[in-house]
Amino acid sequence: MRFVYSCFLFISCLSVKAQNNSFYKEKYRPQFHFTPPIHWMNDPNGLVYHKGEYHLFYQFNPFGNRWGHMSWGHAVSKDLLHWQHLPLAIPEEKDTMIFSGSCVTDVANSAGFATDKNQQPMVAIYTAHIEGKNQSQHIAYSLDDGRTWIKYNANPVLDLGKRDFRDPKVFWYAPHRKWVMVVVYPNEKEIKFYTSKNLKQWNLMSSFGPAGDTNGIWECPDLFEVPVKDQPGKTKWVLMHSPAPYMQYFIGEFDGEKFVNDNSNTKIYRPDYGPDYYAAITFNGLEKNQNPISIGWINNWNYANDIPTSPWKSAMSIPRKLCVKKINNEWVLIQQPVEQVKTLRQNEMTWKNITVTKNHRLPLNSQTLELEVEFTAAGETSGVRLAKDNDHFIEIGYDAKKQLLYIDRSKAGTAEFNPSFAKLSRYETAVAATTAKTIKLRIFFDKSIVEVFANEGEAVMTAQLFPEEAAGGIELFSTGKPAVFNMVKFYSLQSAR
């Protein structure tokens, strides 16, 4: 208990300092992406909307800037942009770390944790990890809207005696009036579906996998219902998870017991085709008929511990609003930044019909920006360079002949902190031009993060970079034939701190 109390006091002090802006002025520190005040952070956990607040829990090391001592950090927000840091929610205890999981509002008090009829307990479902020995599913509950947490005295609620069995995502399946848990066998590349009436006793229903990307271990599953774009009333189900160090999804149907994939089981579909997006999950408890909203971890396990940031490490993505669309007879996940991001916009500038033969420097210098670009897919490659300073920049381009969107950060700044970072510098994905032969990009640059949404969110790419603070130039480029940039719109974005 002394360990728990010390953690609580420590993180309480940090949260007070964070609110007073003692942090968030460091080199590379994102200004509109969520980061902890200090120390290591990885997977988002327990995303839930409860009584007007968005709750973000996350894997957190209270004692250092590298992975270890996994516990649940905690923050809340009214708008998904401005976050209030709260004390440590669920701490490591003795030999048991607190790994990833989810959180629900137990409206009907199915678990029996409420002490009076007006309470709506929040229940966290997470993996208890004993290094090298066992992973099992535990629960904890809160009767004060997530401010303090009590571990269930009869844990574990699901223990198969396995060394690797983790990351439960739990949600309420209304048609059958039951809880559903989605959890993984990482090494077997299988996702298991369990059911419960009370969050305490769980029964296996079905499994899915292996399928798609089976190169890495499988982690952090999620299953959620999504609207079909431009088809009111129609929905599909998305099964999303993280084959390390990337992510993939499947789109199909879920009948309350099993998931059936409607796309190919061999083709890989990713929610993000860049190097730095992992462990994304969606919020529970959103209002009815609201699109699902997801948040992912911006980092890559190949170099995550070594990125050159201090006193914090890692960030969360811009929250993304989700739907699906059928393109060329394949179901595709469509992702867009939540609308609230627009409230940060200022200093709008617009250019139209710029013909670019080699390069064209815009009269701007910024590392916290949003850029909307629409250009004709002509020539060999064309696009945008950000963090431009002499020969340094990150290139976001489109190869018109191959119909490939790419990110290349090989010239973007420091990379010597880990050899894998330099090796993993260029990423690409197929993106077809519109019927008007144009490419539309919506780009967010935030100090050390770039997120690119192509053609209204049909493909997304996220990458970290570590430029010098003065490297804020913006350049349009084209190789081969001239490219016409029909529209370029710039916004500087206010800090959300």
CA dihedral (207, 208, 213, 214) in degrees, to 10, reads 40
Cα–Cα dist 28/308, whole Å = 8
Task: Evaluate the omega torsion of the peptide bond into residue 210 and state whether it is cis, within 30 degrees of 0.
Answer: yes
Query: β-strands 312-313, 39-50: how paired?
Result: parallel
Task: Evaluate the omega torsion of the peptide bond into residue 36 and state whether it is cis, within 30 degrees of 0.
Answer: no
Q: Which residues contact 90 (CB under 8 A, 6 or more apart)?
A: 57, 71, 72, 98, 124, 126, 140, 149, 151
Report CA Rg, the chain. Answer: 22
Coil, helix or strand for 83?
strand
Amino acid at 124: A
Cα–Cα dist 186/164, whole Å = 6
Catalytic residue (choose from 43, 106, 399, 446): 43
Count other Cβ atoms within 10 Å, centred on residue 213: 19
Q: What kind and span of H or E run contains 2?
A: helix 2-19
Kindly state the tokens that stand for 348.
């709008």
Annotation marks residue 222 as catalytic:
no
Kindly state the tokens that stand for 44.
């988002």
Residues that are catalytic: 43
